[in-house]
Amino acid sequence: MRSALIALILMICSAPAAVAQTLQPILQTHAVEIAKPSRRSVGEALNTITRSGVPQATAFLEQWSKKNIWQRDDGVFLIGVADGDILTLTDVDTQATFSAPKSNYKRLKPNGGVRRLIGTALVQFQLIDPDLSRREAAVASIARRPEAAQLNPLLTSIDAETDPALKVRKIQLANFLSALFAKDPADRIAAINILSTDTSIESRAVLNQILSVKSGVADTQPKGNIAAIHNPMDAPDTYYAALVNEGLAPAKQTAADIKRALEFNIVNGRIAGFSLALMNDPDTRETAYAVLAANGLVPALITDDLRNTALNEHVFYDLYDEPNVDITAVAKTALGSVTSRVATAQVADLTLDALSLASIFFLAAIGLAITFGVMGVINMAHGEFIMMGAYTGYVVQLFVPNYTMSLIIALPLAFAVTFGAGVVMERLVIRRLYHRPLETLLATFGISIALQQIAKNIFGTQARPLTSPDWLAGAWVFNDVIQISHIRIAIFVLALMFLGLIIYILKRTRLGLEVRAVTQNSGMASSMGIDPDRINMMTFGLGSGIAGIAGVAIGLYAKVTSEMGSDYIVQSFMTVVVGGVGNVWGTLAGATMIGFGQKGIEWLNPSNTLAAQTYMILFVILFIQFRPKGIVAQKGRAAGD
Amino acid sequence: MQNKFITKNPSVLLFLLGLSLFTVVVSICSEAAGTSLISTSFLKTLGKTLCLCLVAVAMDVVWGYCGILSLGHFAFFGIGGYAIGMWLMYDRTKTIVVASLENNIMPATPDEITDAIGSQIFGVVGSSDFPLIWAFSHSLTLQLAAVVIVPGLLALVFGWLAFRSRVTGVYLSILTQAMTLALSLYFFQNDTGLRGNNGLSGLQNIPGLEAKSQATLSLWFFWASALALAAGYLLFAWMTSGKFGSVIRAIRDNEARVRFLGYHVESYKLFIFTVTAMVAGVAGALYYPQAGIINPAEIAPIASIYLAVWVAIGGRGRLYGAVIGAAVVSLMSSWFTGGSAPDINLGVYVVKWTDWWLVLLGLTFVAVTLFFPKGIGGLFDRLSRKGEQT
């Protein structure tokens, strides 16, 4: 396919450019057309100028389209700027400037159509302009408004292009243009075939442009490249409306039309002999209307039968704008292949979205996996620890204006703040309520409402921003379909880091060993010299501290409000319960399942996140029925039953 | 039999006497009676409080007696409100629509009337068609049945699923909370057909009783709420007193042992869960016509947790405790958040109760859980024990 394109380029490049160094003589040969240009006549002149290859031509064409060309009495063309009655003139070839009174000169005023032609002619100069930014501008202008005339200049400019990125772009654009405008159908088909592997929005737009159709209706099937013949019975009323629009059938009366017609024909308090009181029955209304129609007072009622007869007498068709059958067929195949590629890419994009949602759930739940999962303490204030972490990040940003720096400070600080809060809470409240889990739930809920309200009193009810540094602001764009913001990648990486960290602490450190010992058998652990009170305090602090860091991450991605914690608390508990209590891997599995499930439901029912959440919760409730211990169920004595 | 029940439970008689005394006093002081010592809006608050007491009693039975910490009973309350609200809204809109269509030249067809009502009710969510769940909204009888049946059925299905797979303790609490969240999210959607976050409004206008003033209607609703509370209290007092009550309490204290004794624990729990859900529905159906508006925020998980807070503060495991807790906390809430509580000037900082009431409530709740697990009701125990000693 590439070779076909190169052949095309070579073919067009083969016309040699005439060599001439001065522009004025060329202009003089077409003096009449240039002085009084019209859209028809100017083409030849433009062709000669552009083909001459004279470097001054660019400047001349630019000035011409800006209406800055003046003609002297003797017919010579000069670039001129008027200042009162004095003209500052520049020679088109030598660039020498001089002043002269205005009276001997006549200004050239090309109309809009001519200026557009000049613009097109200019593009080919701009495409080979030494200045990269002007070349890029020219390419961008072609991409905005592709025209047939731009194809050849674009192809000619590709070989000489020095910037590799721009060269690729030029080849792509040339391919779009040849798919749309190339003279030889074989060239177009070759170009269209190349498009079938391109999932960009532009390429799809090109294919859709080739496949653009006009819908119409006629007595018989018209000649031409027919895209589709519709069966009007699929949506009779819609097609009948099209028929009425075309003036091929009388409009169908609605219930409101009938009512209006009846009201118009009230004679002595009766309609067609029926009393008004009977008119609360739609059947009576129709009968009365029929009587009126029979008397010629109103147009006849279009019944469904009449409508269907009218529909069956006509052909409803879609006609391609493109007359060539082969080209539309190839374009259709190409579009089909592009669509399936786009669908594949969308699945990949959805997977990325789901992964990122899963990592957010995981981050929110991982602290809970420790306090609830490992220790068995239910902490309804966990969401408020997330909120505290996010507000810590916000406060740090108030004092440290550098966003990167403030983030580096905020992460450990948030950990410290919520670690402290967790330890205090454990010492004051939770310690007194071990083995009374329902009461722990209630007491921590009391703390949760108090903390939420305190945050509201300090920071107000409006959302506070937690701005991410610039290097986190962009998005990683894979192609037009697959892209993911850097924040989400960062959250994903953070989630992975936490997973590693927690696993490491629990499995490889002294603290982790003691935590596991206390969890499994507190009495035995304490007789081995472990202080269960200290371990419980540390574990709870650790879980809370991680919630604080998660808060900073979530705050970067969502807004910081005093209620943000309660948005995550139910989901977090579900994540832990679904995954399996007492196991960090289980939490990962739970977060993955909920994240993917929610995105999957959202995909089935787009633009309705509420519904996705609703159905996901229902799914989780049902899931618990079948695996009450979660995905990764604990076995043996540690399971606690 | 009845005498035996009363003599065994003197608190029931005391409660009923207190409630009737309260009702009589309030009725005499109301605007409808002419004395106007109590404004109509405060009468409504009192009536609503009685409904909250009823749902708190139901919560107490399911939690305090049976040990199921349900964080979903306020959702049942809300469903009851929605069920009656649908009829109220439909019938009132119909009255208005029919009145406005009477000026037309021709009498309207049934279709025209339905369309006009539909666009009146669902215009706010950009629709005019009646969703399927409004199919019975024209009938007061059917919607009244729905007040009991829908929460009952939901509780039955949910409870059956949960109890069958032996979900207990905090897991059950989280699951009921998830159910509540799912329900409120579902009600929040516009395409559910319950007007999304607009909810149902204008419920204080009772169709067919337009001639009566709000003062009279409020008094009637107050009486109905008092009656419902008395009936609910009697029902639950009777249920929790006999052998059945003993089994229920035994399940709370040691579920496994009751199972080993041969009782089918799941059925008992399911029965309690369902009956209390139905009573919660009735309480909601009486509450929302007095409140005038219901929206999905009312059934958010937080509301059900507050319900647990009331019962815990009042003292669970005793019915009058739930009544005291609900009445005291909800009346105090409206007093503090209403702005009528005096601010405390600390010199450096002025404590505004509208801002700090929730903090106080939260901390009180922690303190009650830690130090007074029996709540306010526990004070009565101490008093009666003192009485026995002297």
**CA–CA separation, B286 vs B293, rounded Å?**
12
The confidence band for A19, taking pLDDT boundaries of 50, 70 and 90, is very low
The predicted-structure confidence for B286-296, as pLDDT tens digits, reads as follows 999 999 999 99
Question: In A, which residues are within 8 Å of B305 by CB distance?
Answer: 445
As for how many domains chain A has, the answer is 4
pLDDT value, residue B386: 66
A99 in contact with B, Cβ within 8 Å: no
Residue A199: inside a domain: no
And the tokens for A463?
């959302």
Arithmetic mean of pLDDT over chain A: 83
The amino acid occupying position A324 is: N
What chain A residue is nearest to B109 in terms of C-alpha separation? A280
B365 in contact with A, Cβ within 8 Å: yes
**Cβ contact (<8 Å) for A624 and B107?**
no
A431 in contact with B, Cβ within 8 Å: no
pLDDT value, residue A4: 53
The confidence band for B376, taking pLDDT boundaries of 50, 70 and 90, is confident
Question: In B, which residues are within 8 Å of A626 by CB distance?
Answer: 165
Same domain, A563 and A624: yes
The predicted-structure confidence for A457-496, as pLDDT tens digits, reads as follows 999 888 888 888 888 877 888 777 788 888 888 888 988 9
Same domain, A508 and A366: yes
Mean pLDDT of A615-633: 82
Best residue in A260, A278, A280 for a mutation probing chain B (most B CBs within 10 Å):
A280
Question: In B, which residues are within 8 Å of A622 by CB distance?
Answer: 161
Residue A376: inside a domain: yes
**Cβ contact (<8 Å) for B182 and A613?**
yes
**Residues β-bridged to residue B200:** B294
**Cβ contact (<8 Å) for B356 and A573?**
no
Query: Where does A48-96 show beta strands of DSSP type E?
Result: 69-72, 77-83, 86-91
Which of B50 and A239 is assigned the larger pLDDT?
B50
Portion 558-617 of A in contact with B at CB < 8 A: 566, 570, 573-574, 577, 608, 610-611, 613-614, 617
pLDDT at A1 over 60: no
- Tokens 């939770």 sit at which residue? A430
pLDDT at B308 over 50: yes
Instruction: Give the residue from A271, A301, A331 where a domain finishes.
Output: A301
**Cβ contact (<8 Å) for B359 and A450?**
yes
A306 in contact with B, Cβ within 8 Å: no
CATH number at residue A574: 1.10.3470
Same domain, A297 and A375: no
Name the DSSP letter for residue B292: -
pLDDT value, residue B2: 54
Which of B102 and B182 is assigned the larger pLDDT?
B182
Please tell me which of the candidates B189, B359, B370 has its beta carbon nearest to residue A453.
B359
pLDDT at A3 over 80: no
The confidence band for B322, taking pLDDT boundaries of 50, 70 and 90, is very high
Distance from CA of A556 to the nearest CA of B (A): 25
Query: Please, what's the b/e burial string for B180-219 (b: 16 or more CB within 10 A of its CB; e: otherwise)?
Result: bbbbbbbbbbbebbbbbeebbbebbbbbeeeeeebbbbbb
B180 with B75: CB under 8 angstroms? yes
Domain residue ranges of chain B, discontinuous segments joined by +: 2-301
pLDDT value, residue B86: 93
pLDDT value, residue A206: 86
Question: In B, which residues are within 8 Å of A276 by CB distance?
Answer: 105-107
Most distant CA pair in chain B: distance in Å? Answer: 84
The predicted-structure confidence for A530-545, as pLDDT tens digits, reads as follows 998 899 899 899 999 9
Which of A82 and B159 is assigned the larger pLDDT?
B159
pLDDT at B31 over 50: yes
Arithmetic mean of pLDDT over chain B: 88
Collapsed DSSP state (helix, strand, coil) of residue A207: helix
Residue A205: inside a domain: no
pLDDT value, residue A607: 67
**Cβ contact (<8 Å) for A617 and B185?**
yes
Which of B53 and B315 is assigned the larger pLDDT?
B53
Q: Choose among A129, A112, A62: nearest CA to A90.
A: A62
Residue A596: inside a domain: yes
Distance from CA of A449 to the nearest CA of B (A): 6
Q: Choose among A33, A26, A24, A29: nearest CA to A110.
A: A33
Distance from CA of A515 to the nearest CA of B (A): 22
Residue A143: inside a domain: yes
Q: Please give the order of strands across the beta sheet that includes A274-275.
A: A266-267, A270-271, A274-275
**Cβ contact (<8 Å) for B178 and A574?**
yes
B148 with B133: CB under 8 angstroms? no
Please tell me which of the candidates B164, B181, B361 has its beta carbon nearest to residue A449.
B361
pLDDT value, residue B260: 94
Which segment of B113-127, B204-218, B316-330, B340-354 scores lowest on mean pLDDT?
A: B340-354
Same domain, A609 and A563: yes
Please tell me which of the candidates B105, B182, B363 has its beta carbon nearest to residue A446.
B363
Collapsed DSSP state (helix, strand, coil) of residue A99: strand
A256 in contact with B, Cβ within 8 Å: no
The confidence band for B388, taking pLDDT boundaries of 50, 70 and 90, is low
Helix (DSSP H) and strand (DSSP E) numbers for chain A: 26, 13
**Cβ contact (<8 Å) for A570 and B177?**
yes
The confidence band for A13, taking pLDDT boundaries of 50, 70 and 90, is very low
Mean pLDDT of A122-133: 80
B69 in contact with A, Cβ within 8 Å: yes
pLDDT at A15 over 50: no
Best residue in B66, B128, B359 for a mutation probing chain A (most A CBs within 10 Å):
B359
The confidence band for A441, taking pLDDT boundaries of 50, 70 and 90, is confident
Q: Tell me the backbone φ, ψ of residue B344, rounded to 5 degrees.
A: -105, 120
Which of A304 and B299 is assigned the larger pLDDT?
B299
And the tokens for B33?
């009676």
Rg (C-alpha) for chain A, rounded Å, is 38
The predicted-structure confidence for A387-412, as pLDDT tens digits, reads as follows 999 999 999 999 988 888 998 999 99
Collapsed DSSP state (helix, strand, coil) of residue A460: coil
Which of B129 and B151 is assigned the larger pLDDT?
B151
Percent of chain B exceeding pLDDT 70 equals 97
> Could you write out the DSSP letters of every residue in A285-323?
HHHHHHHHHHTTSSPPP--HHHHHHHHHTSEEEEEES--
Question: In A, which residues are within 8 Å of B160 by CB distance?
Answer: none
Same domain, A234 and A260: no
pLDDT value, residue B315: 87
Please tell me which of the candidates B169, B301, B363 has its beta carbon nearest to residue A437.
B169
Same domain, A259 and A354: no
The amino acid occupying position B121 is: I
B231 in contact with A, Cβ within 8 Å: no
| Range(s) of the domain holding residue A259 | 253-301
Interface contacts (A, B; CB < 8 Å): 146
**CA–CA separation, A265 vs B80, rounded Å?**
50
- Provide ipTM, 2 decimals: 0.85
What are the helix (H) ranges across A313-460? Answer: 325-368, 382-399, 403-428, 437-459
- Half-sphere exposure of residue B290: CA atoms within 13 angstroms, side-chain side: 28
Which of B96 and A251 is assigned the larger pLDDT?
B96
